[in-house]
Amino acid sequence: MDSPDNSRFIKACLNQPVDRTPVWFMRQAGRSLPEYRLARGTLSILETVKNPELAAELTLQPVKRYDVDAAVLFSDIMVPLKAIGLELDILPNVGPVIEKPFAKVSDLDRIRKYEPEEDAPYVQETIALLKKDCRVPIIGFAGAPFTIASYLVEGKPSRNFIKTKTLMHTLPEFWSPLMDKLSDLIIASLSAQITAGVHAIQLFDSWAGSLSRYDYQEYVWPFSKKIFDALTKNFGTSLPKIHFGVGTSAILDLMASTGPDVLSVDWRIPLDKVSPLLSENQAIQGNLDPAICLTSFDTVAREAGRILRDAKRRSAPHEKSVSPSFHRGHIFNLGHGVLPETDPDTLTRLVDFVRNYDSTSDDVQP
């Protein structure tokens, strides 16, 4: 058994050849698992995160059940904000809600410096526990500045992000310092997770796809770039960094140029259309539509096979000679999180399908 540092997940993230395509699922822990509902009981998600034994157990549940190639830390993108004292909650079936949404320059004072060791020691303790028991790499994560800012400004999940876009365009003395302060908080959060021992990190810019290319470039890109630059400077290039968003087909090249090793894409774009937007060494993660997991398994297998073929088509042209069992630069995942209604057995079968997928039966098209 490979060590987590030398695992196929880490190698695939760094675009090194692997024996088979690694697979994990965003939101693999959580409500679709009966053992999760049992273990969490009536505790809220934010209370659960503060309990390292429980958070470690919930992180490991999907690894045990599905035998996936990576574990994702049980936490939430809002945890550092809660830890610095912002009054917020995560409501079941709703998401993050903020008591007093941000609207003016003086609200910026409410974001103080985040000191992970003092403010949220339980996150690092959970990672320490996992380091003892987890045989696959552990993925740490944070929300990206835009996605976090959208919750702080809208006060709740939003469809159109009207308040956020209004402030972004009309109040630069609010928007830039807000994004800058959030970038520093996110760098502190990810750095503490890396120091505690996670093997890779993912930056979730879940709602970046709501922006025009212009707005992304002008108002968001510099801050996400600042985060990846800081992590590369402080931790080198061997710890993989993944950048994720939904509906980002129009901005993937911009997201790629912020400096991640892996771009995580949703189902709207075929993987072979993603590669021309990336640099040659960047890997791709994705991209099964989570809704497909609620159809028949025949459909799941057909769509997963198509994704694996698209990924192979993408990776092959860089090689001088294409080995028949060529695997490189693809991490199989969903295009967004597991839906709560998903039958866990479908994911077990999907992991098996990816694992046993016979790439030798495909012709690689130029």
List of residues contacting ligand CP3 (CB under 6 A):
26-31, 45, 72, 74-77, 90, 92-96, 141, 157, 204, 206, 336-337
DSSP letter for each residue of 276-302: GGS-TT-EEEEEE-GGGGGS-HHHHHH
Sheet (strand 241-244) strand order: 71-72, 138-143, 200-204, 241-244, 262-264, 283-288, 330-334
What is the spatial distance between Cα 205 and Cα 144, in angstroms, rounded to a whole number? 5
Q: Are 185 and 230 in contact (CB under 8 A)?
A: no
Pick the closer one to ligand CP3 by CB: 93 or 238: 93
Question: At what angle are helices 145-154 and 221-235 packed, to 10 degrees?
Answer: 130
- Chain centroid to Cα 198, Å, comes to 14
CB of 337 to ligand CP3, least distance (A): 4
What is the spatial distance between Cα 95 and Cα 194, in angstroms, rounded to a whole number? 26
Short-list 64, 63, 230, 39, CA closest to 145? 230
Pick the closer one to ligand CP3 by CB: 260 or 327: 260
Pick the closer one to ligand CP3 by CB: 30 or 52: 30
**Which residues are 202's β-sheet partners?**
141, 242
Pick the closer one to ligand CP3 by CB: 72 or 316: 72
Pick the closer one to ligand CP3 by CB: 167 or 242: 242
CB of 141 to ligand CP3, least distance (A): 5
Residue 260: both structure tokens together: 């991640």
CB of 325 to ligand CP3, least distance (A): 30
Pick the closer one to ligand CP3 by CB: 223 or 357: 223
Pick the closer one to ligand CP3 by CB: 15 or 48: 48
Q: What is the CA radius of gyration of the chain?
A: 20
Short-list 117, 124, 9, CA closest to 55? 124
CB of 87 to ligand CP3, least distance (A): 16
